[in-house]
Each structure stands twice: as structure tokens, then as C-alpha cells.
Structure 1
Amino acid sequence: MNGDVGSRAAPLRKGDPKKLGRYELVGRLGEGGMGVVYLARGADGQQVAIKMIRADLAVDEEFRRRFRSEVNRARQVPPFCTAEVLDADPDHERPYLVVEYVDGPSLSAVVAERGPLSPANLHALAIGMATALTAIHGAGVIHRDLKPSNVLLPPGSPKVIDFGIARAVEATSHHTATNQWLGTVAYMAPERFGSDASEVITPAADVFAWGAVLAYAGTGRTPFAADSPPVVAARILTQPPELGGLVPPLRDLVERALAKDPAARPTSRALLDLLLATGPDQPPAVAAALARQPGLLVAAEEAQAATEQRPEHAMTAVAVPPELKTVAAGPTEVSPTHQPTAFLPPASPPASPAASSAMAPASPAVAGPPGAVGPPAPAGMGVALPPSAPPPAGPVTVEVPSAPPARGSSRWGRFANVAMALAVLVTSLTVAGIATGVLPFGDDATPSGAAATPSAGSPAAPTPSASTRASELVAQDPLTAPRLWQLREDDAQLTTCTFEGALVVTRGKQGPYRCPGPMDQLTDFSMTVDVRLRSEGACAALWFRFVAAAGYIVRVCPEGFYVGTHGVGDGTTVRVLRTMPFPTPIALDTPTRVGVSMQGTTIALERDGQQVGTVQDSTFREGRVVLGIYPETPDHEPPFTVAFNDVEVRSFTG
């Protein structure tokens, strides 16, 4: 977001605003096709970068709608080698976007000043950009304008900026002359030069840009260099890239990324996996890059973990008439930072169980049909998907997804909310993931969209009994074979999600792991599932209202429940809200019926039909439910194994 000036902000010019919303502008960082980028200071003194949209775009209501939608999607991208989106105001007189300020020069400035990067730095850049694209694509966003000036090089690891927002401008093409293209031509994929480019662009276009940017960084020239943009475009469409100066295996990856056919390019996640592959064939430059920048390896592994069960299929291009397109809600509030808490051992027995169960369903409900699911994932993803269901015929109602369509996927779940006159297949991808390694316990920042959080232990608001609310069946699965939940064999993470009369999760290392399952976004819901702890030190884990690598987590351990937030701010940190010890521990390999419900800000937990406790929190408002494993403490030795059976998920509708 800083452009080419790095940390050197130019003075404000006459006519520049002094404030935007609650931010004080202190200098200019750059200017681009969408507007001016300012260095600013928030009320807390934090430096941020603000992109203020051009005046001619600001008066266009269609642009504002698209800008609002794209900002909401961009805010779901986890901050793995990306500049985090912090705030936005699409309704301001001049709409603006606020992102993390990255204090470092751009790749274009570094190459112009010092020439091509060294092998170690080039491999670090390749890993960093692939990490960023994995996070961006995993959130259902397409960058659309990846180029050297949008890659910053601060100390630590590269940062990719300006992702996703270009679509808001592309869609309002009357602002762009017919002989101009948004983005820098030298880094644009062949499919972007067609008249329907705004409708068919997929994450594969970003992978092409990754290859072009890497070729520039490694050679000092673009792979299709020519004297004029039209000639560059012609070479992109018809000629092989000029990659002299790059050496294998990086050259081979760049060549694959620059394939003319989008389907022939690897996905961003596949690029990252190949770049991080270990063994005797790993280039020394990779080891050197990771040794110099340990934070880069952490970010890359977190991006891998956050996309473990999220298929990256080829996007299905669906042309939707403008009158049928709807817009997501605007930005939401940001809550204060949480105080640090660590996992605690059981303290004392809980109060007497409640006489009535908050988990009991209100009334019978018919499960909606599963949504259509796209074709099998490409090599390297290892995700088995349910069979595709045909789209409905005739008038339907469609729920607008929180993220744009992903490559060839369709959202699993029921469709509701926005009436449409035509049958439309809507494709979508929702963030899911796993965070690996032993989690840090310390300060964490509440994510955008969070509200103020009552402290744990404060008097709980009355929990509405499920019997007073209508419910709708979302998922019901015996978990004896792949159905709603899927197989996973993850050699890199030493973890499997298999079916042996139950969904059996076995992990050969510390840290949590989530198994692939339904993508429904739920607000108020109940979930019950049989849990068996099959090995010493193993705890089952249930995530809910989970999105963008963050949400609530309940660890089901032999001695009690641990309920908290997981992934706020960094995708890994856990903050315990409450420890709920059991009067009688769960015996090894003994089925226990676990219930979780959330209504408003009240989380209620049950064991074998008896309420164990409640806790109040409002950090997360909507997201998926996920099953997985979370070893008890670092003192126990792997492998760890848990099993699940007979899961039922209901959404409260009344």
C-alpha cells in the first residue's frame, strides 16, 4: 500500500485533506489508478496507510457498492505476508481503505536501485508471494494487480499489498478508456486481454503475475519485455517467456506459472508446497532464505495450515446479470484488545447441572439439500468432495456468499435470503484452516468485525432455551464414511482424518488440526457429537463461528472443557474464556456426547445431556463449525488420536 516511496512520505499537497474519519493524515505515500495513498495516524498513535478513492469514482454509486463488497472480502484475508486490511469507509464523501503500514521499499524500487535479487533473496520472495497468494485465494479473493510496486520488502518477510480491490474499478469499466488496461500489462495473464476479462478472471491470473514478478526480480527485466504495451500484450498472448538468468528449479516453477492456459498453471497453494518441499533436492538457496528469515517460514506454514481443507478448484465463470448482483454489508466495529490468558487446569467442580438441556432441538426440521460441489481438487490438495448436486430449476433464492467465487467450487449448504428470477449457480469458497505448532499464549488483537467482549466470569445473560426457538437441521452425519466430513491424509502435518467406523483424527505432532467439513456460515446454532479420546494427552476440538482462520474453540479434554477464542489477530493465538471442569473425568476411549450451542453472545456447553456451564463473549458473529484435534499439553508424546460419531448441527431460526 506504500508504493515506491517506502518509509519516506512526501509532504501533503495543497487540497489534500488533513483528516479522514478518525485518522490524521501526515504525508503522501504514493498515487495510483484508484486514488492517493496517505501515511496517517490513528487515535491510538498507530501509523497506517490510507488509500483515498478518486473523486470521479466516489460519485459512482455502482463503484461504492462494489468497493464495499470487495473491502469486506479483503478483510477476511489472514495477514500471512500481506498488509492487513484494518478499516474502511465506503460511505465517506471520498471512500477510503485503511491498511497496515509496511515500512519498507517496494520490489520495483529495490531492483531499480540494486539490480536483480540474490538467489537466497529471490527464493524468499518466491515463498513470500506464494504465501500471500495462498492466504488471499484461500479467503476467496483475487489480487488482480500483483506487480513489483505492490510487493514491499520490510525486514522479516515480503508483504503483498493492494489485493482484491481492483475489481471494484474493473467492474466500472466506463471509467477506463478502451485502449487502457487496469494493472500493469507486463504482469497480466493472457486471459485478461479478452473483452470478458472482468467476468472470467480467476486466481490463475495471480499465479501468472507471480511468475512474471519473480522473473523480473531475478533478471531485472520482465519476461515479455517490449517497447510498447500493445507489443508486450501480443508477446504474452503468443510468445514463450524470456527467462534467461533464472536457474532450476525456480525457473521451472516460473515457466509453469506463465503457461498460456490458466488450467495448466499450479495453484498458489501448490506453488507454496513445492517451494517448501524438503529433502536432498531442496535448493541451498531455500534453506539459506528460511535461515535468514525464520518469520517467513512461520507465515508460510500458517498459510498452508489455514488452507489445508479448503479446495482450490478451477473457478467456474458465471455471468450474472447486473440486476441480480447484490452487495455485502459494510464494515463493522473493532473491539478493544483482549487481555492475555493461558489454558488453566481444572479448579473446582461446576455448579449442579441444569435440569433442562439447552441443546434439545425445538422441533423436527427437514435438512436442506447440499449445494453443488465442484470437480476434484488439483494434485497436491488431497481433498475428497461430496458428489455434485444439480442446480435447482425455476425461480430460486440464493444467499450471497461472503467471498467471491473460487476456482470451480460451489458453496456447500442451503441457499436463502435474496430472491432471484433466474436459476443461477453461485460458486464460493469460505476460509477454513488449521493452525500448526504449539500456540503462543499472550496478547492478541480482536479482529475487524468484533464487538466489545464482556470479561469471562461476568454474570451470564439468560440463555434462551432451544425449546423456545425454531431450529433447522443443517448437518446430520453418522461419520462412519466420507459424506459431509471428508478424508484427509496430510503427510506434512503428520495428521490423518480417516473413517474407521468413526471419523478418526490422528496427529503425530503438537498443535491443533481441523478436518474438512461443511462450509455453512452459522450465527445461532446447536451442535451435538459423540467424542472418544483414544490416546493419552489427546483432546477433541470443536471450532464454531469460525472464519478466516479465527473463531471460537472448545477443547474436550479428559478433565473438562476449555472454551476460548482462537486465531484473533494472528491465526494462532488462543485466549481462554473459561475452564469448565467435569465432576468425573472422561475415561479413555469411552463415548461422551458433547453439546455446544451459541445464541447471541451466550455459549452453552453440555456433556451427556447435562449443562456444564456457559460463558459470554461477542468476538465472533458468524462462521462454520469444525471438528478436529488439539493435544492436551506439550508434556504428552504423540501420536494423539480422537474419534467422532453422530454429529448433528441445527441453526436457530426464530
Structure 2
Amino acid sequence: MQTTPLSPEDPAELGGFELLGRIGHGGMGQVYLGESPGGEPAAVKVIKASVVDSEARLRFAQETEILKTIWGPRIAAFLDADPEAERPWLATEYVDGPDLRKHITTHGPLPSVLVASLGATLAEALAAVHKQGLVHRDLKPANLLLGPNGPKIIDFGLAVFTETGATLTAPNTVMGTPACMSPEQANGIKPHDSPVDVYALGAVLLYAATGHYPHQADNVHVLFHMITDRSKEPDLTGAPEELVPLLAAMLAYAPADRPALPEVVQQCRVIIEAQGMKVAQARRRLTTFTAPGPSARAAAEAPTEPVPQEPPAPTLPLETSAPAVYTPTVKVDDPAPADQGQPPAPTPLKPKRPAAPAPLRHSVQARKVAQQLRETYAQSAAF
């Protein structure tokens, strides 16, 4: 993930986390690359001073409690937080990789088998979130990080509890990202339930396969009209034929017409297996394909070939007429006497030492780099 230098007004430390650089920002706050006292990398999210009010603190506190509640291999783990600080902050696991939006913008759409793998992985993760009584409510490509161990879901700031329908928004207030928003969410219908995330996942998979969303418009009001108009079918142009039935079902206008997440997982498995791959193979290829660097992508795009097996060593039958061959045992430190005419004993081979591992980058080095970045920024900044 790309990191930019800290500015002079950025804090150097928050809650014990040393801040090393900026890794993202939004309308509500800034995200920094941080490091715990023990050297654990972290993404530290801070609310902007200009938007810190009672409602922002409540929303931040809700996100903190949600992250304490949920867990799973596809969820960026909660580390620490202080919603009551002068500038509320939240630290989560740092995922070293681009978000899906940036990857598609840079490299183009994913092959259909990898889109299906992404769908199976995320549908399974969202199903686990729903079992914990939560709905993400803002799933989008920018909230999916493609890390070295596979995709991870971030930003549960708009998540809601499905059991109570608890929300911090007013009855007719619409919260979320319009491009991936379901019709009922755009219409302000509450409470939100699991079909909201099914629709958003369908929009994400369509974007991963084609580079565009179900509905697109330059004007946000026109976009909302397209989403809420039942007669406007989602644009599936460019989607691979094998993905169209699943995407069309996930992007259905009525929530009841959308498949449940376990069904999405099964349909993605069918698509993967129809292309001659196992689900685990497809997941490994997805992770390799989205890893930084052209060599990793080339390896992922290469066709899968069976690994050649060495032929088994020949074995003699239990009963054979061939004479037995006697091989004398000679001690290395006991050379044969010269009068026997035997060659000298072979010198034993010394075992090769394993190559030393590459030195790890220590916290001291990270701090030096961060200081250099700060100095570079200070020299070029106009203040």
C-alpha cells in the first residue's frame, strides 16, 4: 500500500502507536500507517478535528464496538481505540496491499474464475458477519483490501445491528456509497438486512469483472433515480457469460429475489469447478494475481500444469536367482591397510549450511525512513 510522508501538523504518535506516514483519507478523517511499541504494524484512523462532534463520536464509538464484536480471517482485526480522545482514533490490522478499486483501475478487470473466487471468499466472510447480527451496509471496492493473504473487508463505520435495527441516522437519511447501494437502501427503507450486502457484493463483483457498476451517472440525483427505478435493469455489459446469471440474481430489485450468501458461495464454486479448478486453487491464484509486481501476475495467469512425478525406484522381487552383492562397511576414520590393495576411504562430505535469511527491517529503520519523509515534506511544503 502506498504511503506518503506525514505533514508538519500530523501527530507523531497516538495511543502508543508511532505514526510513520499517511495511507489514506476521506471526508471524515485520515488513516496513518502506525507501529505499536512491540513493532506491530497498524492502520490508525483519526477523525478530522473539523468534524468532531457528538454524533461523530457516537458513530466512531459504534464502529469500535462493532470491530470488537466481529472477527474472522477476512476481517481486518481490531487492535485498539479511544473514541473519547480529543481526536478520536481507531487502530486496526494493517493490510499491505491495494484496495480492489485501485487494482482494477491500474490492471483492468479480473478473469471470471478469479471473480468467482473473490465472490466465494467475500460471501463466506459476510455470512459470518451476518451470523453475528450485523450488516456492513457500505461494501464497495475501496473497502476491500487485497493483502498478501487474500482479500480483507474494512470500514464498518456504517454497519448496523440487524436484530434491533439500531442506527444513528434519521429515518429518511440515506447513508452509504450510491454506486453499490441497493434500491431499498437508496429509498431510505429501514431496517437494513442481509440482502443489502448481497446487492452490494453483486455490484462489487460486477465492477471486478467489468470495471463498471450496475448504474452509473455523473449526477448523484440521476444515479439515485436509476437505482430506485424498478424498470431500470442493472448494466451487465461486458460481464463474462458464466457470471451473468449470478450477478443478475444478486442485483435483483426486490430483496426477496436475491440469493442468500451461502447460495452465492455454492454458485461461485460451480463456476470455478466448471473451469477445471478447485476452490482452494482459485483462491491461491486470486491472491497471487492481485499481489504487487508483474511477475506475480504473470505467474497467476500461466496455465496450471501438473507437477511431474519422479518414477519410483525399482524393487527386486522377494525371490530372485540373482546373486546377492556384498558391500563392505568401511569406517571413515579407519583406513584400510596398504597390503590389502583397497582404495582409501572416502572423505565425508560436510553438510552445507543453510543460507542466512535476509535481514528483517527493524523498527529503528522504519523510524529513520519516517523521519526522512517528514524532512522531505517540510522542505517542500509551503508554510
Q: TM-score range by the shorter chain?
A: 0.5 to 0.7
Give the aligned residue type for 2:247: V
Structure with the larger helix share: 2
Q: Aligned equivalents of 1:231 and 1:289: distance in 2?
A: 39
SS at match of 1:210: helix
User: CA 1:277–1:74 in structure 2 vs 1: closer, same or farther (change >3 Å)?
Assistant: farther
Give the aligned residue type for 1:158: P
Q: Paired residue for 1:136? A: 129
Q: Paired residue for 2:375? A: none
Q: Aligned equivalents of 1:153 and 1:69: distance in 2?
A: 25
SS at match of 1:30: strand
Native 8 Å contact 1:18 1:25 kept in 2 = yes
Native 8 Å contact 2:117 2:282 kept in 1 = no
Shift of 1:90: 1.4
SS at match of 2:135: coil
SS at match of 1:73: helix
Q: Paired residue for 1:64? A: 57
User: CA 1:193–1:292 in structure 2 vs 1: closer, same or farther (change >3 Å)?
Assistant: closer
Give the aligned residue type for 1:117: L
Question: What are the equivalent positions in structure 2 for 1:216-295 lying under 5 Å apart?
Answer: 216-238=207-229, 239-276=232-269, 282-284=273-275, 287=277, 290-294=280-284
Native 8 Å contact 1:77 1:139 kept in 2 = yes
Q: Paired residue for 2:310? A: none
User: CA 1:218–1:35 in structure 2 vs 1: closer, same or farther (change >3 Å)?
Assistant: same
Q: Paired residue for 1:116? A: 109
Native 8 Å contact 2:116 2:269 kept in 1 = no
Query: Which of structures 1 and 2 has the larger relative contact order (alpha carbons within 8 angstroms, sep 6+)?
Result: 2
Q: Paired residue for 1:21? A: 15
User: CA 1:43–1:148 in structure 2 vs 1: closer, same or farther (change >3 Å)?
Assistant: same
User: CA 1:32–1:265 in structure 2 vs 1: closer, same or farther (change >3 Å)?
Assistant: same
Question: What are the equivalent positions in structure 2 for 1:140-151 lying under 5 Å apart?
Answer: 140-151=133-144
SS at match of 2:9: coil
Native 8 Å contact 1:141 1:164 kept in 2 = no
Native 8 Å contact 1:106 1:150 kept in 2 = yes
Q: Paired residue for 1:634? A: none
Q: Aligned equivalents of 2:128 and 2:27: distance in 1?
A: 25
**Residue from 93, 105, 109 that aligns with 2:86:** 93
**Residue from 88, 91, 96 that aligns with 1:103:** 96
**TM-score, normalised by the number of residues in structure 1:** 0.40
Shift of 1:170: 6.9
User: CA 1:55–1:181 in structure 2 vs 1: closer, same or farther (change >3 Å)?
Assistant: farther
Q: Paired residue for 2:41? A: 47
Give the aligned residue type for 2:221: P
Shift of 1:186: 0.9
Shift of 1:258: 0.8
Give the aligned residue type for 1:36: Q
Aligned residues: 281
Question: What are the equivalent positions in structure 2 for 1:568-647 lying under 5 Å apart?
Answer: none
Deviations 1:413-452 (A, max 9, x none): xxxxxxxxxxxxxxxxxxxxxxxxxxxxxxxxxxxxxxxx
Q: Aligned equivalents of 2:218 and 2:211: distance in 1?
A: 16
Shift of 1:123: 1.8
Aligned: 1:204 with 2:182:
no
Q: Aligned equivalents of 1:79 and 1:229: distance in 2?
A: 34
User: CA 1:223–1:111 in structure 2 vs 1: closer, same or farther (change >3 Å)?
Assistant: same
**Residue from 198, 213, 228 that aligns with 2:204:** 213
Native 8 Å contact 2:33 2:42 kept in 1 = yes
| RMSD (CA atoms) | 2.9
**Residue from 138, 145, 149 that aligns with 1:152:** 145
Give the aligned residue type for 1:200: P
Q: Aligned equivalents of 2:181 and 2:238: distance in 1?
A: 21
Shift of 1:81: 1.6
Native 8 Å contact 1:63 1:172 kept in 2 = no
Deviations 1:244-270 (A, max 9, x none): 222344321211111111122122233
SS at match of 2:226: helix
Shift of 1:83: 1.2
Q: Aligned equivalents of 1:167 and 1:55: distance in 2?
A: 25
Question: What are the equivalent positions in structure 2 for 1:258-337 lying under 5 Å apart?
Answer: 258-276=251-269, 282-284=273-275, 287=277, 290-294=280-284
Q: Paired residue for 1:479? A: none
Shift of 1:57: 4.3
Question: What are the equivalent positions in structure 2 for 1:437-586 lying under 5 Å apart?
Answer: none
Deviations 1:381-411 (A, max 9, x none): xxxxxxxxxxxxxxxxxxxxxxxxxxxxxxx
Deviations 1:297-322 (A, max 9, x none): 9xxxxxxxxxxxxxxxxxxxxxxxxx
Q: Aligned equivalents of 1:33 and 1:141: distance in 2?
A: 24
Q: Aligned equivalents of 1:71 and 1:143: distance in 2?
A: 14
Aligned: 1:171 with 2:179:
no
**Residue from 167, 178, 201 that aligns with 1:185:** 178
User: CA 1:37–1:186 in structure 2 vs 1: closer, same or farther (change >3 Å)?
Assistant: same
Q: Aligned equivalents of 1:257 and 1:10: distance in 2?
A: 38
SS at match of 1:208: helix
User: CA 1:240–1:72 in structure 2 vs 1: closer, same or farther (change >3 Å)?
Assistant: same
Bigger radius of gyration among the two: 2
Question: What are the equivalent positions in structure 2 for 1:377-416 lying under 5 Å apart?
Answer: none
| Structure 2 unaligned regions, length at least 5 | 288-383
Aligned: 1:126 with 2:123:
no
User: CA 1:63–1:109 in structure 2 vs 1: closer, same or farther (change >3 Å)?
Assistant: closer
Shift of 1:160: 1.4
Q: Aligned equivalents of 2:194 and 2:157: distance in 1?
A: 11
SS at match of 1:38: strand
Q: Identity over the aligned pairs, expressed in percent?
A: 38
SS at match of 1:293: helix
Native 8 Å contact 1:207 1:265 kept in 2 = yes
Structure with the larger strand share: 1
Q: Aligned equivalents of 1:167 and 1:16: distance in 2?
A: 31
Q: Aligned equivalents of 1:49 and 1:130: distance in 2?
A: 24
Shift of 1:112: 0.8
User: CA 1:33–1:102 in structure 2 vs 1: closer, same or farther (change >3 Å)?
Assistant: same
Native 8 Å contact 1:30 1:38 kept in 2 = yes
